[in-house]
Amino acid sequence: MAVRLAAFNFLEEQSRIHAGVIPASTLRPGFVFRGQRIKLMGPQGIFKPAILNDMPLSITTAPPDDRGDRPYADGFSPIGDVLLYRYRGTNPKHPDNVRLRIAMQRRRPLIYFHGLMKGQYCAAWPVFVVGDEPQSLCFRVEFDDAGYVGRSISAIGEGVEDARRKYITVATRHRLHQVSFRLRVLQAYRRTCALCRLRHDELLDAAHIVPDSDPLGEPLVSNGLALCKLHHAAFDRDFLGVRPDLVVEIRPDILDETDGPMLVHGLQGFHGRTIWTPSHPRQKPRAEFLERRYELFREAAKS
């Protein structure tokens, strides 16, 4: 457990330094433990450093390619309470699959690296393999809170343990999707506000066109707009809307309001302008998302 705890501490520090998105250039060299360098990940998804005898330290979901597709079909269950992590290959007896099965049987905590895009990862720990599905060629993985590492399941109670992990798994899935969504949207929009063209990352957000609470509100680049914090807030509160033809509308009562130069230049002046969008067709705002959100904007303008 000493190596695992040292790895967790290293990742906690790196996550803080890199605001939760850790570059592969930091992860691949790993860290030094008692004079020995410990790597955290390898070219394959299930990774065991040489210092560990028979169980992996980490599992990785590779980042999507330029088309948004992932090379392996890892994914969360429909309600998000478990990660379905694919076997290495199709042979349940492949050494990597056997090692992960041992980790499940011994209840050893692992690290999960979620690829956001090439060279960028989110790390989550501890995660536990809680099930094996040979017929589906996958393991069932749940996330947990670092404060519970090493505590006895029998001391806590299996029902409480399972409920807590499912709750944390759902929350982690949401966090991973939102971090991934922001990174991919800002990259697609070249880190530029689609309205005012502000270019400071610290002041930019990835706004959902259709809210993520809506059944259509998927964390897709085509359901996102890169907006500065002012225009994101105005968009979310229906001060402004974007028509399906990409033209901005400011709500009539906001247009009629008199409140100094910030209102004029920050909002009113964008009425009738066309937003800037990515050149790649798959990254452009999808028409059905814009239509849905514009309907909501018009309803808000009537009230």
- Domain annotation for the chain: domains and CATH numbers: 2-185 (2.30.280), 192-302 (no CATH)
HEC string of 249-261 equals EECHHHHCCCCCH
Stated pTM of the model: 0.80
Q: What is the pLDDT of residue 172?
A: 92
* Pairwise CA distance, residues 209 & 293, whole Å: 6
Grade residue 152 by pLDDT with cuts at 50, 70 and 90: very low
| Residue 21: pLDDT over 70 | yes
* Pairwise CA distance, residues 303 & 91, whole Å: 60
Q: What is the pLDDT of residue 156?
A: 42
Q: What residues does 22 pair with on adjacent strands? A: 121
Q: What is the pLDDT of residue 106?
A: 93
Nearest to 11 by CA among 170, 149, 122, 164: 122
Nearest to 149 by CA among 300, 294, 4: 4
Grade residue 299 by pLDDT with cuts at 50, 70 and 90: very high
pLDDT tens digits for 188-237? 999 999 999 999 999 999 999 998 777 666 778 999 999 999 999 999 99
Q: What is the pLDDT of residue 153?
A: 42
Residue 208: in which H helix or E strand, if any? strand 204-208
Q: Average model confidence (pLDDT) for the chain?
A: 90
Q: What is the pLDDT of residue 212?
A: 77
pLDDT tens digits for 115-150? 998 899 999 999 999 999 999 999 999 999 877 665
Q: What is the mean pLDDT of residues 51-71?
A: 80
Q: What is the mean pLDDT of residues 32-38?
A: 95
| Residue 66: pLDDT over 70 | no
Q: What is the pLDDT of residue 154?
A: 40
What backbone torsions phi and psi does residue 203 show, to the nearest 5 degrees? -110, 15
Share of the chain above pLDDT 70, in %: 92
